[in-house]
Amino acid sequence: MRWLPLIFLLLTAVAVQAIENVAPFDDPAMQERYEHLVKELRCLVCQNESIADSNADLAADLRREVREMMIAGKTDAEIKAFMVDRYGEWILFRPRLLRQTWLLWFAPGILLLIGTIVAVRVVSQRARLYTDDPGDDPTGEPNA
Amino acid sequence: MQRFMGVLRFLLPAAVFAVLLRFLYVGLSLHPDVIPSPFIGKPAPALSLPTLHDETRTLSSTQFAGRPWLLNVWATWCVACREEHATLVEIARSKAVPMYGLDWKDDRGTALALLAQHGDPYDAVAFDAEGRVAIDWGVYGAPETFLIDADGTVVCKQIGPLDMDTWRSKFLPLISGAKKGPCT
């Protein structure tokens, strides 16, 4: 029984190691840029994982492309454009603000605004209910 | 006004509920695993690779210009491709359009053996050992089939196995000229 935690640790260590089988960049700044970039790109095979997290063959190929483009001196924007040209806007975890994506970006704000308006109206109506003359109660509910 | 507000009190939640139902219904018929290709209606990416049958020969898409052609992405490790294989053989027999294969990250010997055993529907097969050309074409899961028109524009893409019904309704009209691309 006391071996169980050890076995668990050994198994998870393998899972963590499995993702990256290439040597990290010598320059820590480059390595950081690389790690950031591969987290921004969606793996299209297992759609809720980034290519950094995915074990899929295609994710490994895309990581290789990112790495090679970085070595060739491409900027982050150029690398993302390369991916979008081939796989579409969807490969980016944070979609850019476009005509097709503005609703995605602003929907939370719009919904919050609608919610606030509704809440304010309901609260002010309830407040009026109690200050009004009980005889004029429009809801017709019996007064306590 | 009072009556109007009263009606609204019932209509508004009903309307919101109807919109919600509509969203849920549409959501049921979506296929999130099918990602539309950004190449539809755009010039086809370049393809230049050694062939599967002969490493020293190069297959280049510039040779295909002037008439429509199909590109089928497949591999022996891809189970759905085997399912699709008989359909491809049938399409090839109809000689409607030249069919080229892109063997994606595969083993040459296994691939040749499979074609020898189950029939070879391809006019030629490009061998993409490293998967670079597949990335250029935005391939993310085999099988995928592209239709390129005589001008070199990608007019249709099938993600997943092709069947005769899809072939007749989506691809054939574009090849015969009965319909103008891109397909929907």
Mean pLDDT, consecutive 10-residue segments, chain A of 144 residues? Answer: 65 54 83 93 87 91 95 95 93 85 90 95 88 58 54
Count the helices and strands in chain B (H runs, E runs).
6, 7
**Whether residue B86 sits in one domain with residue B2:** no
Residue B96 within a domain:
yes
Same domain, B66 and B139: yes
Q: Residue A94 contacts by C-beta under 8 Å, 6 or more apart in sequence?
A: A40
- Candidates A86, A118, A125, A132, partner chain B, best to mutate (most B CBs within 10 A): A86
Say if the Cβ atoms of A86 and B130 lie within 8 Å: no
Quick one: how far is CA B151 from the chain centroid?
A: 18
Residue B114 Cα distances to B75, B94, B134, B184, angstroms: 10, 21, 21, 32
User: pLDDT at position B100, please?
Assistant: 97
Q: What is the predicted pLDDT for the residue at A10? A: 63
Q: Which whole number is the average pLDDT over B110-132?
A: 96
**Distance (Å, whole) CA B122 – CA B78:** 17
Query: Three-state SS for B2?
Result: helix
For B10-21, the pLDDT digits (tens) are 898 999 999 999
Q: Domain check: are B6 and B52 in the same one? A: no
> Does residue B35 form part of some domain?
no
Query: Per the domain annotation, does B36 fall within a domain?
Result: no
Work out the pLDDT band at B81, boundaries 50, 70, 90: very high
Q: Which of A47, A86, A89 lies at the smallest CB-CB distance from B135?
A: A86
Q: Are residues B148 and B120 in the same domain?
A: yes
Q: Note whether A49 contacts B: Cβ–Cβ < 8 A.
A: no
Residues B68 and B99 in one domain: yes
- The pLDDT score that the predictor gives to residue A141 is 57
Is B152 found in the same domain as B67? yes
Query: Distance (Å) from the C-alpha of residue A85 to the closest C-alpha of chain B?
Result: 7
What distance in Å separates the CA atoms of residue B20 and residue B44, rounded to the nearest whole number?
40
**pLDDT for position B145:** 97
Residue A18 is predicted with a pLDDT of: 46
pLDDT in the model for residue B8: 85
Task: With a threshold of 0.90, tell me whether the complex ipTM lies above it.
Answer: no
pLDDT at B78 over 90: yes
- Alpha-carbon gap, residue B18 to B14, rounded angstroms: 6
| Structural domain total, chain B | 2
Judgement on whether residues B67 and B153 belong to the same structural domain of the protein? yes
Q: Under the phi-then-psi rule, with left for phi > 0, alpha for psi from -120 to 50, and beta for the rest, what region is B39?
A: alpha
Q: Which among A47, A62, A84 has the least Cβ separation from residue B135? A: A62
Chain A interface disruption, residue of B30, B135, B136, B144, most A CBs within 10 A: B135
Quick check: is B126 in a domain? yes
CATH number of domain containing B142: 3.40.30.10
| B138/A contact by beta carbon, under 8 A | yes
Residues B149 and B66 in one domain: yes
Which range among A137-141, B113-117, B123-127, B136-140 shows the weakest confidence by mean pLDDT? A137-141
Interface contact flag, B38 A58, Cβ < 8 Å: no
In this predicted structure, what is the pLDDT of residue A123?
93
* Residue B38, in any domain of the structure: no
> B61 CB near a chain A CB, below 8 Å?
no
pLDDT average, residue stretch B67-88: 95
CA distance B77 to B103: 10
Is there a single domain that holds both residue B9 and residue B69?
no
Q: Are residues B25 and B52 in the same domain?
A: no
- Output the pLDDT for position A17: 46
Interface contact flag, A44 B137, Cβ < 8 Å? no
Q: Are residues B99 and B148 in the same domain?
A: yes
Residue B160 lies in a domain: yes
Q: Is B80 within the bounds of a domain?
A: yes
Note whether B171 contacts A: Cβ–Cβ < 8 A.
Answer: no
Q: Which of B35, B38, B131 sits opposite A44 (nearest CB)?
A: B35
Give residue B10's domain range: 1-30
Q: Assess whether B17 and B69 both reside in one domain.
A: no
B19: in domain: yes
- Asked if the C-beta of B35 comes within 8 angstroms of chain A's C-beta atoms, the answer is yes
| Chain B touched by A45 (CB under 8 Å) | yes
